[in-house]
Amino acid sequence: MADKKKRRRAAHDSDSDSDALPFKSKLKPDSVILQTLKNLKASSAASSSKTPTLADVGLSTTCREVTDLPIDEVQYNIGSVMLNLARSILAGEGFSFNVPSRSSANQLYVPELDRIILKDKSSIRAFSNVSTVRKTTITTRILQLIHQLCTKNIHVTKRDLFYTDVKLFQDQTQSDTVLDDVSCILGCTRSSLNVVAAEKGVVVGRLIFSDDGDMIDCTKMGMGGKAIPPNIDRVGDMQSDALFILLVEKDAAYMRLAEDRFYNRFPCIIVTAKGQPDVATRLFLRKMKMELNLPVLALVDSDPYGLKILSVYGCGSKNMSYDSANLTTPDIKWLGIRPSDLDKYKIPEQCRLPMTEQDIKTGKDLLEEDFVKKNPAWVEELNLMVKTKQKAEIQALSSFGFQYLSEVYLPLKLQEQDWL
């Protein structure tokens, strides 16, 4: 008799849970969702043919791209630049650098590549010009420091580089900007310069890889996960039984999924840059995608900046368009949270935030971008966002329960194949 009462109470509790979590009753058994994900993975692997290059497209416009170069070639290129400067000075022609322009006017979105590239326009940075003398000096100093790093074969962070000459650089943004200019001048990726950003991104889930010879199992890294190595060259031997990669914008959502061991219920690799994408996370994501042939699904906030972050991973940033071939991950699918989800999943009004004038302007500017226009479904979602003037964070789902994201929202999205 007591057992029957317990069973009735348990059944009642289960029904109450279903009532408390909207749309949970729509979920099918995990085996059905897993089969959907297996089909997605097979489809992604079948379509992952050779990624087209700039040469394959055959553009009429001359464009500029950089490549990974070994240390000796970087040193040689620096030597060549300095030798040309010396010849120019001796010839009485002054001291100047020919610097590729990274302005918006010199950017080009190529639909066939689905990424932003840098055109071939450049400008003269002369030591004799009052407006450019300081930047010319910084450029020379950065080249000297890079040559030292290559000679010693050591890596430093951008912050370390800044502190070598604070009086000259004054602000780290100035040394960072010139560092990108130097990459363009030398024709190499920024990682080839032995300068890295501080560790920011993290990864957890069904991934094993070697980090400078040490094997890392990302299922055994706890809730915090494994920090993504700032130097992608030391990452190798990637192995995984995951069905997809889940790219998460926010650290809070990442922690929820990691603590709930979402990657065990639905085999996946979860990665986040904790906001704005850093170079190391972008390189790591591309490496996983290309080596493991896994589909990438993105979970970002329902606001213009969430979509901008997604576009940086997929199409590249204008600031580093010269290296978009190495930094972009093709065919990232927008899983959520999308503007249409706010009504579809009945997100409470008090959890929706009014868009500011700047938000609306950013949304309208995105609608003018070629990489958005290419995808009609993205245009539809953005138009809805601008029309309703509402935005929402991933954490808005917590209004239904702290684990609603991992227990209902994401499983239902995967079940319905609701991605763009």
pLDDT at 341 (0 to 100): 96
The CATH class given to the 62-196 domain equals mainly alpha
* Token reading at 103: 């302005």
Residue 224: pLDDT above 60?
yes
Closest CA to 115 of 320, 338, 261, 299: 320
Over residues 246-285, the pLDDT tens digits come to 999 999 999 999 999 999 999 999 999 999 999 999 999 9
Q: What is the pTM of this model?
A: 0.89
Over residues 29-47, the pLDDT tens digits come to 999 999 999 999 998 887 7
For the annotated catalytic residues, the residue numbers are 163
Residue with tokens 């009014």: 354
Kindly give, in sequence order, each residue whose CB lies less than 8 Å from that of residue 148, ignoring residues fewer than 6 positions away: none
Residue 408: pLDDT above 60?
yes
Indicate the CATH number of 27-52+197-416 among 1.25.40.10, 1.50.10.10, 3.40.30.10, 3.40.1360.10: 3.40.1360.10
pLDDT at 295 (0 to 100): 95
pLDDT at 12 (0 to 100): 43
Asked if 119 contacts 109 with a C-beta cutoff of 8 angstroms, the reply is no
Residue 18: pLDDT above 90?
no
Residue 56: pLDDT above 90?
no
pLDDT at 49 (0 to 100): 64
Over residues 159-203, the pLDDT tens digits come to 999 999 999 999 999 999 999 999 999 999 988 999 988 778 999
Distance separating alpha carbons of residues 54 and 334, to the nearest angstrom = 25
- Residue 112 CB burial class (10 angstroms; 0-12, 13-18, ≥19): exposed
At what angle are helices 71-90 and 172-186 packed, to 10 degrees?
Answer: 90
Over residues 284-322, the pLDDT tens digits come to 999 999 999 999 999 999 999 999 999 999 999 888 999
Percent pLDDT > 70 in the chain is 94
Residue 368 marked ligand-binding: no
Residue 14: pLDDT above 50?
no
pLDDT at 48 (0 to 100): 67
Tell me the domain boundaries of the chain.
27-52+197-416, 62-196
Asked, colleague to colleague, whether 27-52+197-416 and 62-196 share their fold, the answer is: no
Residue 249 marked ligand-binding: yes
Average model confidence (pLDDT) for the chain?
Answer: 90
Residue 344: pLDDT above 70?
yes
